[in-house]
Amino acid sequence: MPIARINNHQMYYEVHGKGDPVLLMGGWGTFCHGSEHHLPRGLTDTHAVAIIDYRGIEQSDDELDKTPSIEMYADDAIGLIEHLGWGKTHFIGLVGMGACISQVVAIKRPDLVRSMLNMGAWCECTDPLFLDQMEMFRSVHRDQGWEAFQRFVCMMSFDPDYYNANRHKLLGPDGPWRELRGKYAVHDRFLTACLSHDVKKDLAKVTAPSLIVHSLQDMVTGARLTKPIEHAIPGAKGIDLPDVAHVVAGKEQKIKFAKLVHDWLASV
C-alpha cells in the first residue's frame, strides 16, 4: 500500500506506467483504487503517472485543525514529487482544484514543473456566478444530503445528451463524487480551499510551458474562468473544445481529449 508521510499527513498515492513522470490531479475525487481507467487513454503506456487521494478522502488522512487552502494541497504535491525523487514533472490538472494546485506548484517550485496543462480551472474567485455555484454545492450537500448534491453537480457537469443517456450510471453510490458520500466535512474543506484561490497576479511568474483548455459548454468553469489563466501566463497556449462540458464524457470525446494530451506532452 503506497502511503507516504507528507506535510504531517498520510498521503495515499499510486504510480501507473513507465516513462517521463506525470502528476495528474482532478477535482473533488480520486483516480486511485481502480479508477485509473478514467485517465486519458494510453497515458500510462507512455508515462509514469502519479495519482493521489486528497486529504480526507479514501486512504489519506487530514489535519483538521489546519485551515485548508490550495497552497496546502500544492505543498502536498510538492512533497510527493520529492518523495518519489522525480524532479521535473508534467502537471495535468483536470476539472477543478487539481488544476489550481498545479498553478501554485508552478509558481512556487518552477524547478519541479516540466509542463502544465489546466482544464476546468480558475485563478481568482471574483466571478459572482462561480461563487454562487460553489456555495450552492455546499448548501445542497449540507442541507439536503449527498444524493441531492451528486444529482445537482452531475446535472451541471455533463453534456445534456450524455446525462440523459447515462443517468442510471451517473447517479448512486458508485457514480461520480462517490468519495464525498458521508463526508460533508471534507467537501466543506475542499470548498474553503477552492474559494480562497487567488493567484492571477502571480501567474506571470510561471515559466513552464502551459496549455490551457477551454471547454465551451462548461457551465461551471467555462472559458470565462479559463481564458484569464491563459492570458496571465507568459507564452501560454490555449485550445477551445466547442462541444465539451465540465467533464469529458463519451467515447468520442475521450479519444479526442487523449490525443490532445499526448500531442501536448510530445510537444514539450
Q: What average pLDDT does range 218-234 have in this prediction? A: 97
Q: Is the pLDDT of residue 52 over 70?
A: yes
Task: Give the other-Cβ count within 10 Å of 252's Cβ.
Answer: 9
Range from 32-41, 138-147, 229-238 carrying the lowest mean pLDDT: 32-41
Q: What average pLDDT does range 16-34 have in this prediction? A: 96
Q: Is the pLDDT of residue 42 over 90?
A: yes
User: What is the sign, positive or negative, of the torsion defined by CA atoms of 239, 245, 248, 251?
Assistant: negative
User: What is the sign, positive or negative, of the torsion defined by CA atoms of 57, 59, 60, 61?
Assistant: positive
> What does the pLDDT read at residue 59?
95
**Within a domain: 87:** yes
Closest alpha carbon to 177 in 54, 30, 73? 30
Amino acid at 21: P
**Within a domain: 107:** yes
Q: What average pLDDT does range 90-112 have in this prediction? A: 97
> What does the pLDDT read at residue 65?
87
Average pLDDT, the chain: 97
128-169 per-position pLDDT tens digit: 999 999 999 999 999 999 999 999 999 999 999 999 999 999
Q: Is the pLDDT of residue 8 over 70?
A: yes
Task: Give the other-Cβ count within 10 Å of 151's Cβ.
Answer: 17
168-180 per-position pLDDT tens digit: 999 999 999 999 9
> What does the pLDDT read at residue 1?
62
Q: Is the pLDDT of residue 88 over 90?
A: yes
**Within a domain: 49:** yes
Q: Is the pLDDT of residue 16 over 70?
A: yes
3-state secondary structure of 49: strand
Closest alpha carbon to 77 in 108, 102, 47, 110? 102
Q: Is the pLDDT of residue 96 over 80?
A: yes
Which residues span the domain enclosing 39? Answer: 3-123+199-267
Q: Count Cβ atoms within 10 A of the Cβ of residue 67 and give its class: 0-12 exposed, 13-18 middle, 19 or more buried.
A: exposed
Report pTM: 0.96
CB-CB contact of 140 with 235 (8 Å): no
3-state secondary structure of 48: strand
CB-CB contact of 261 with 43 (8 Å): yes
Q: What average pLDDT does range 119-126 have in this prediction? A: 97
d(CA 50, CA 68): 22
CB-CB contact of 239 with 117 (8 Å): no
Q: Please report, for the domain that includes residue 38, its CATH number.
A: 3.40.50.1820
Q: Give the count of domains, the chain.
A: 1
**Region class of 33: left (phi > 0), else alpha (psi between -120 and 50), else beta:** left
Helix (H) or strand (E) run with residue 210 in it:
strand 210-215
**Within a domain: 254:** yes
> What does the pLDDT read at residue 95?
87
